[in-house]
Amino acid sequence: MTQIPIFSAEQIDYFMQVALNEAQLADEAGEVPIGAVIVKDNEIIARAHNHREAHQLATAHAELVAIESANHILNSWRLENTALFVTLEPCIMCAGAIINARIPTVYFGAADSKGGGTRSLYHLLEDDRLNHRVEVHPDIRASEGGRLLQDFFGKIRKKRQSKK
């Protein structure tokens, strides 16, 4: 039977810090700064950041890359007994990937009012009609994840204005 991992406040803080570090790496590479980690048996088994621009891949969101990495490491499409930490609310695609991978619990940072599929626009992870449901923990170090994004888009706006 699938078990839902339980963490202390310190562990949650630490795993989200690693996800924030991944988001920072995305930022430094000129990518929208979002990071994710997947944890099993209290250890990080996959970490990733968004690299849509570098690889020109529509699917290269932090969560999807981390899920595929964890699939490879465990040699299993089923990610039972794992937890996913991500600095921004998962979009529709990533929420669907979390369901497809049977991840039992998700911790996310900032809300995404324009595209969030996990709480903002839809509650896709908590739909009783689907064959898998996910425990959702929103608002974990949300201000830090959100600030990275605000600063990133602020820099882009400045660049655009200076070109005018």
Q: Which of 22, 31, 63, 89 is catalytic?
A: 63
Judged by CB, which is closer to a second copy: 17, or 71?
71
Between 104 and 141, name the residue whose CB sits nearer to a second copy.
104
| Residue 1 CB burial class (10 angstroms; 0-12, 13-18, ≥19) | exposed
Taking CB under 8 A as the rule, does residue 45 contact a second copy? no
Q: Residues 91, 106, 136, 149: which binds a second copy (CB under 8 A)?
A: 91
Q: What is the largest CA-CA distance in the chain?
A: 59
Among the listed ranges 3-11, 24-32, 35-43, 115-123, the one in contact with a second copy (CB under 8 A) is 115-123
126 given a catalytic annotation: no
Do the beta carbons of residue 112 and residue 91 sit within 8 Å? yes
Q: Does 164 bind a second copy (CB under 8 A)?
A: no
- Active-site annotation, residues: 63
